[in-house]
Amino acid sequence: MTFTQIAYEEHGQVRVIRFDRPEKRNCIGPVTHRELIEAWTRFKEDDSALVAIITGTGEQAFCAGGDLDAGFDLVPSTPEEIAAHDRGERPGILGPSRWTDVYKPVIAAVNGAAYAGGLEWACFADMRIAEEHASFGVTCRRWNIGLADGGSQRLPRIVGLGRAMELILTGRVISATEAQGIGLVNEVVPKGQSLSRALELARFLCTLPQPALRSDKEAAIRGFGQPLAEGLRIEAECFNRSIHQPETQEGLRRFRERDHPDRIPGHVPATPGLVRN
C-alpha cells in the first residue's frame, strides 16, 4: 500500500507512524483508517522494528480526531457491521485502536492538539511526550459523538477513574502541564522537540533485551484490572516464557563479567537514574 494520509518512517530499529494531514489538523478519515491498519500491521510483523512512535505533521495538531466531514463513512451502519463491532471483530473506527496485543513499546510524540480520537491514539501509547503547547480533550462531547477508539477504557487506566470522568463528561481541554500533573503525560518538552526526545527514548529501549521487556508489558496490560491472583498468574506465564530465552543467559554473563556500563567502575551508567555505591 502507498500511504497518502500517513507516513511510515524507518529510523534504524524505530518506526515513526505519522498522521500526515496537516491541512485537516491530522484528523482521520476512511483512507487514513485503512492506512493506519496497514502501518501497524507492518510494525507488528516486522522483527527488525522494535519501537513505534506516533506523531503528527506540523506544529498545530498531533491528531484532531475523526474527520467529521466524512460523516457516517467512518462508522458501522448496517446491522451486520454493527453486530461485528459489538462482538469485537473490527479493529476500530479510526485505525486499529482496539488492538490490545501490541507488546512492543509505543511512544506518542504529541506535537500539538490531541483531541477526541487523537487523545485516544495518544492513550494507545505506553508513554506520552508532549510539547509545551500541546493540549488534550474529549472535544467530540459537543457533537454527541462518543468515544469508540479506546478513550473510555484507556484514559481511566492512565489517570484514574475520577480524573478521566471529568474529562470525558465535560469535554474540557487541558494543557500539557496539567496533563503531566494528572499522569497523562510523562514528559513536557519545548515546542518542536517531542519527536527528537521520543527518538532518543526509543533508541534507548532498543538497546535493552527485548523478550522480558515485551513479556512484562504483556503482563501489565493483560493483568490490569484482574483480581490479584489472576494478575500474578499472568505474570508467571509471561515470566516463564521470557526467562528461558538466550537473552537471559547473555544478560547473566554480562552481569558476572561486568560487561555492561552499569557494572564497569568509572563508566557512566546506561540505566537512567541508576545510583552506584
Domain locations along the chain:
6-206, 209-263
Residue 17's Cβ-count burial label (10 Å; 0-12, 13-18, 19+) is buried
- Model pLDDT, residue 8: 98
β-strand pairing of 113-115 with 106-110: unpaired
- Model pLDDT, residue 1: 84
Q: What would the 3-class secondary structure string for the chain be? A: CCCCCEEEEEECCEEEEEECCHHHCCCECHHHHHHHHHHHHHHHHCCCCCEEEEEECCCCEEECCECHHHHHHHCCCCHHHHHHHHCCCCCCCCCCCCCCCCCCCEEEEECCEEECHHHHHHHHCCEEEEECCCEEECHHHHHCCCCCCCHHHHHHHHHCHHHHHHHHHHCCCEEHHHHHHCCCCCEEECCCCHHHHHHHHHHHHHHCCHHHHHHHHHHHHHHCCCCHHHHHHHHHHHHHHHCCCHHHHHHHHHHHCCCCHHHCCCCCCCCCCCCCC
pTM of the model: 0.95
Q: Can you tell me the distance from the alpha carbon of 218 to that of 223, in angstroms, rounded to the nearest whole number?
A: 8
Write the CA distances from 207 to 14, 34, 244, 271, integer angstroms: 11, 32, 19, 11
Write the CA distances from 251 to 91, 151, 225, integer angstroms: 37, 38, 32
Q: Can you tell me the distance from the alpha carbon of 86 to that of 104, in angstroms, rounded to the nearest whole number?
A: 27
Count the neighbouring beta carbons within 10 Å of the beta carbon of residue 34: 15
β-strand pairing of 127-131 with 187-189: parallel
Class of domain 6-206: alpha beta
pLDDT along the chain (277 residues), means of 10: 96 98 96 98 98 97 94 87 94 96 98 98 98 98 95 97 98 98 98 98 97 97 96 98 95 91 87 84
